[in-house]
Amino acid sequence: MLNFNLNYKKIIISFSLLFFFLSFTDAQNKKSPVLLTIGEESITKAEFLDIYNKNNVKDAVLNKNSLSEYLNLYINFKLKVKEAEALGIDTISSIKKELKGYREQLAKPYLIDEETNAKLILEAYNRMKYDIRASHILIKLSPNPTPDDTLKAYKKIMKIRDRILKGEDFNILAAKLSDDLSARDRKENHRIYKGNKGDLGYFTVFDMIYPFETAAYNTNIGDVSMPIRTEYGYHIIKVTDKRPAMGKVLCAHILLLHKENSTKEDSAELKNKIFKIYNELESGESFESLASKYSDDKKSAINGGKLPWFGPNKMVPEFIETVYNLKNIGDYSKPILTQYGWHIIKLIDQKKIGSFEENKEKIKKRLAKDSRANKSKISLVKKIKKEYGFNENIKAKNIFYKLVNQKVFNAKWNFDKNTVLNKTLITIGNKNYSQKDFADFIVLNQKRETPIDLKKYIDKKYNEFKENKCIEYEDSQLEKKYPEFKAIVKEYRDGILLFEFMNRNIWDKAIKDSTGLENFYKNNLDKYQWDERLDASIYTFKNNNSKIIKKVKKLVKKSVDEKTILEQINSDTTKILSIKTDKFLKDNNEIIKSIKWEKGISKTIVSKDGTASFVKVNRIIPKGPKKLNEARGIIISDYQKYLEDEKIKELKKKYPVIINQEVFNTMIK
């Protein structure tokens, strides 16, 4: 593959590996003697050795050849990056956008509280070890309830909890009083859906919103939790089962569906049918054939009843309980009844949850997208405030209670530019954020939403503003606090500049500069020469059938064209003969190598694999120059190398390179 077609990321990675360095601002590097200067930039001996040692085998002998070779690579790299900067490539919007996006990704691990995150990851893994079955009762609240509405909902859920503790049935009360509509029977599209009476079935970590999950895992089997507040309102939770985790399972089932408006006779008939199928299974019939024959789940029936992999929250509780009780791969259940009908279930495969180390990265990724990640954010903000010193002017916020109006709930609010908003609102480290900064924040982050009390809205936005600016400030300090972060961002930046420089000045130019390429080809024609070649056709047969080979040789002697020969010998279903016509070099083909180079038809050659071949030699082509289109790839590659070498010479004049030979010699062991 040609240089100009190299994958972008491979370019970045290759130079990253070549020239990555941690930091050269330490005392040792400052005291180290200067090894070389490139233009006005000085590079110390210690600086160079840090790079060399990082990118070479540990404890490798520092001999003159390896050091010289590496120093030359490093100088060329630095020259190209310098010129890219001089050309303003680092100011191009697409380059800045690319670097900004990379830096944002790189900064993410630095903008979380690692201690809190580690605790959350471990907590999630410990919960992952168990599956919970729970029921709940929900009293809804609007997204922005008034204090009166909140108190009213809380009192209502507490009264329901008191009734349960006094002996009333949780599930009956859920069907009557829960605001979760799935708890009771309902009619939709002329069909009756049976309510779950609050039973949510089985679930595990990340299946429910975090506050609900936490309450469920912290409640004992049979107990009813205190009210839990979530974004939906207040819940009380009753845990009905807790089991070691099922993990993921691959199952097949045979399903006989309930008929709509079925009678008792219909139900009895369906039950008899499923048990007859079960008896066939017990008698030795294969599960797959019975599923294909009888199952009403047509989608899975065509695959022998096989369902996709699933976890505990993907099936109704009766189905999951049955799977729990299938101990061995290949076991199948007795018929079970669910709201859908009768099932027989077979366990095909199972993936247990695995160790903490096996799950750590997966949990970390899910954590980043989950609401519990906010705990890490809150903890980080608290640390930022403490580290840099955080001050706020609460009184300066009060102007916004009058300044902001109802338009903000339609995302149409803005402030009069003549309004004086110059008071400092918050201070973090050496950075002040004014009232105007907060006003801009509101304008930028407003959205269409249900109106709430404006004072409450402003307070909410103000808290978001403080969090945002704390993290923004911490982000601005990363290069100062973490030398490795600064170095890898610089490394990536230099890699992008290098790629763009090479693409513009070398790779693209070699392709587009047809005149320059033509001249380079003519000036170096002696490098692009053919050895003696054979213009020939190789006829290869599937086996050594002398009758067919003889027939084909006769056709060749009669100058019958290749297409006609192939049509006569091969059929639509059987390919006996193949023909390859080319200009062959002797050492590039074993058959061509083994025959006499003379015009005519060669003897038959039988290979070890049983195939037979002969060659029709058309002519012998003497040695001579390759045409440009015959060696275009290698010529472009050579032209690129030529352009690069010329560019390096030019850059060395522009940015003089001076190597301190005495310092260089001290590195040689």
Say how far apart CA 67 and CA 62 lie, in whole Å: 7
Say yes or no: 136 and 231 in one domain: yes
Compute CA 524 distance to the chain's CA centroid, rounded to the nearest angstrom: 47
488: containing domain: 1-86+483-528+629-669
Give 30's pLDDT tier (boundaries 50, 70, 90): low
Amino acid letter for position 638: D
Partners of 242 in the beta sheet?
A: 132
> In the sheet that 390-392 helps form, which strands lie side by side, from edge to edge?
390-392, 424-428, 431-434
Say yes or no: 413 and 296 in one domain: no
Give 25's pLDDT tier (boundaries 50, 70, 90): very low
Instruction: Please work out, in degrees rounded to the nearest 5, the angle formed at the alpha carbon of residue 435 by the alpha carbons of 434 and 438.
Output: 95
435-445 helix and 454-476 helix, angle to the nearest 10 degrees: 100
Residue 362 makes CB contacts below 8 A (sequence gap 6+) with none
Partners of 238 in the beta sheet?
A: 135, 224
Say yes or no: 394 and 466 in one domain: yes
Question: 43 to each of 30, 486, 533, 590, how far by Cα in Å?
Answer: 10, 18, 54, 55
Q: How high is the pLDDT of residue 262?
A: 80
Q: How high is the pLDDT of residue 66?
A: 85
8-19 helix and 483-502 helix, angle to the nearest 10 degrees: 130
Say yes or no: 462 and 495 in one domain: no
Q: pLDDT for 221-255, tens place per residue?
A: 999 999 999 999 999 999 999 999 999 999 999 99
Among candidates 35, 53, 37, which has minimal Cα distance to 45?
Answer: 35
278 in helix, strand or coil? helix
Q: How high is the pLDDT of residue 300?
A: 95
Say yes or no: 402 and 318 in one domain: no
Say how far apart CA 282 and CA 28 lie, in whole Å: 80
Q: How high is the pLDDT of residue 59?
A: 61
Q: How high is the pLDDT of residue 58?
A: 61
Per the prediction, the chain carries an average pLDDT of: 91
Asked if residue 255 belongs to a domain, the reply is yes
The token pair that represents 258 in the structure block: 């309930």
Q: How high is the pLDDT of residue 368?
A: 86
Say how far apart CA 325 and CA 318 lie, in whole Å: 11
Say yes or no: 228 and 258 in one domain: no
**Could you say which of 206, 229, 244 is where a domain stops?**
244
Q: pLDDT for 485-540, tens place per residue?
A: 998 898 899 999 999 999 999 999 888 999 999 999 999 999 999 999 999 999 99
**Could you say which of 244, 264, 288 is where a domain stops?**
244
Asked if residue 124 belongs to a domain, the reply is no
Q: pLDDT for 284-326, tens place per residue?
A: 999 999 999 999 999 999 999 999 999 999 999 999 999 999 9
Q: How high is the pLDDT of residue 343?
A: 97
Say yes or no: 153 and 172 in one domain: yes
Asked if residue 146 belongs to a domain, the reply is yes
Among candidates 85, 77, 66, which has minimal Cα distance to 17?
Answer: 77
The predicted model gives 406-429 an average pLDDT of: 94
The token pair that represents 482 in the structure block: 């973490």
List the single range of 160-169, 170-179, 503-512 with lowest mean pLDDT.
Answer: 503-512
Give 583's pLDDT tier (boundaries 50, 70, 90): very high
The token pair that represents 411 in the structure block: 């995302």
Pairing of strands 533-541, 612-621: antiparallel
Question: What contacts 24+ positions apart, CB below 8 Å, involve 573-577?
Answer: 575/542, 576/541, 576/542, 576/545, 576/548, 577/539, 577/540, 577/541, 577/542, 577/548, 577/552
Asked if residue 336 belongs to a domain, the reply is yes
Q: How high is the pLDDT of residue 187?
A: 75
Residue 450 pLDDT > 70, yes or no? yes
Q: pLDDT for 353-390, tens place per residue?
A: 999 999 999 999 999 889 898 999 999 999 999 999 99
Per the listing, tokens 């299938």 go with: 326
Give 283's pLDDT tier (boundaries 50, 70, 90): very high
3-state DSSP of 132-146:
EEEEEEEEECCCCCC
Q: How high is the pLDDT of residue 57?
A: 58
0.95 exceeded by the pTM?
A: no
DSSP 8-state secondary structure symbol assigned to residue 197: T
Residue 19's domain is classified under what CATH number?
Answer: 1.10.4030
CB 602 within 8 A of CB 617: yes
Residue 593's domain is classified under what CATH number?
Answer: 3.10.50
Helix intervals (H) in 169-316 = 170-177, 210-217, 264-282, 287-294, 298-301
Q: How high is the pLDDT of residue 527?
A: 94
CB 443 within 8 A of CB 411: no
Asked if residue 267 belongs to a domain, the reply is yes
Q: pLDDT for 38-86, tens place per residue?
A: 999 999 998 888 878 877 656 666 788 888 999 999 999 999 999 999 9
Q: How high is the pLDDT of residue 12?
A: 43
Asked if residue 119 belongs to a domain, the reply is no
Say yes or no: 549 and 617 in one domain: yes
CB 230 within 8 A of CB 214: no
Q: How high is the pLDDT of residue 469?
A: 97
Residue 154's domain is classified under what CATH number?
Answer: 3.10.50.40
187 in helix, strand or coil? strand
Say yes or no: 140 and 233 in one domain: yes
Say yes or no: 412 and 469 in one domain: yes
Q: How high is the pLDDT of residue 19?
A: 47
Say yes or no: 184 and 306 in one domain: no
CB 490 within 8 A of CB 21: no
Say yes or no: 232 and 135 in one domain: yes
Asked if residue 97 belongs to a domain, the reply is no
Task: State how many domains the chain has.
Answer: 5
Asked if residue 297 belongs to a domain, the reply is yes
Helix intervals (H) in 197-332 = 210-217, 264-282, 287-294, 298-301, 317-324
3-state DSSP of 557-626:
HCCCCHHHHHHHHCCCCCCCEEEEEEEEEHHHCHHHHHCCCCCEECCCEECCCCCEEEEEEEEEECCEEC
Q: How high is the pLDDT of residue 23?
A: 35
**Could you say which of 589, 605, 622 is where a domain stops?**
622
